[in-house]
Amino acid sequence: MRWSPGGSSQDVEDRRGAGGGFRLPGGRMGLGGLVVLLVLSLIFKQDFFSLLSGGSPDAGVEAGPVAASPEEDQLKEFITFVLNDVQATWDQELPKQANTQYQHATLVLFREATQTACGTGDARTGPFYCPGDNKVYIDLGFYQALKERFGAPGDFAQAYVLAHEIGHHLQLLLGIERQVRAEQSSRPDQVNDLSVRMELQADCFAGAWAHSAAQRGKLETGDVEEGLAAASAVGDDRIQKATTGRVNPESFTHGSAAQRASWFNRGLQSGRLADCDTFAAR
């Protein structure tokens, strides 16, 4: 992907120097302690995180100096560039295509674990969007896993991941996220199916941004293939096969490799949000 290094953004919140977990009166609780609290909460059906007297989330902790390799610094610059490009695209396109003003999301960079309005964010779950605070959370180490574990190398594969999460932000702004959550609450038997449709639509929205990037000459030879490979690599069937040796379609929450690549490609070909209605598709 053609990009210019050295850029910055007021929409990036760098918590990598803050460590992971809660700030407590006696110090910081690490990831191991958080896991213990999570297990206790599940066993006793009680929110043990809320019992941390005097604790405060990472969002209120000032980050210290960030120790990073040159490679990680360059990756941060690239992801910042992609964030700026994706959001500038929707600044222009969302009012034109959906008669809705775009509101910028914030990208939070963290390591290991951090606090969000949606609970504790764990790097092991991969990048995610929290509708409670309009923030995308990414541990940059995920991109190494995307390359080595999921077999999806390349800078445009990295760009696809961020564009997908911003796609969830678009769903919030368009009222789709609220409607789906209400439907999931009233129809528990459809929770997984609706989740899959949400994820596939975010893939399509990411493709619509890629369409704009291609028109503006930002894509290079092989970028489309990298994006399609990344979408396929995180398909539920691929992940289930790699982790358990079996595939259970009824438990899908994000869609199969073929579905994810197909919907990303649909957005890429048209650039139109209207063509991303996964909820009307069979």
Residue 273 lies in a domain: yes
Q: Is residue 60 part of a domain?
A: no
pLDDT, one tens digit per residue, over 111-125 is 889 999 999 998 888
CB 90 within 8 A of CB 97: no
pLDDT at 64: 60
Higher pLDDT, 99 or 28: 99
Domain that holds residue 155: 69-280
Q: Is residue 162 part of a domain?
A: yes
187 or 234, which is more confident? 187
Flag whether 47 is in a domain. Answer: no
Q: What's the distance, Cα to Cα, between the start and end of the chain in Å?
A: 34
Q: Is residue 42 part of a domain?
A: no
> What global pTM score does this model have?
0.81
Cβ(126)–Cβ(142) under 8 Å?
yes
Is 158 domain-assigned?
yes
Q: How many domains does the chain have?
A: 1
Domain assignment present for 36: no
Residue 65 pLDDT? 67
Q: With beta carbons less than 8 A apart as the criterion, state whether 76 and 6 touch.
A: no
Residue 13 lies in a domain: no
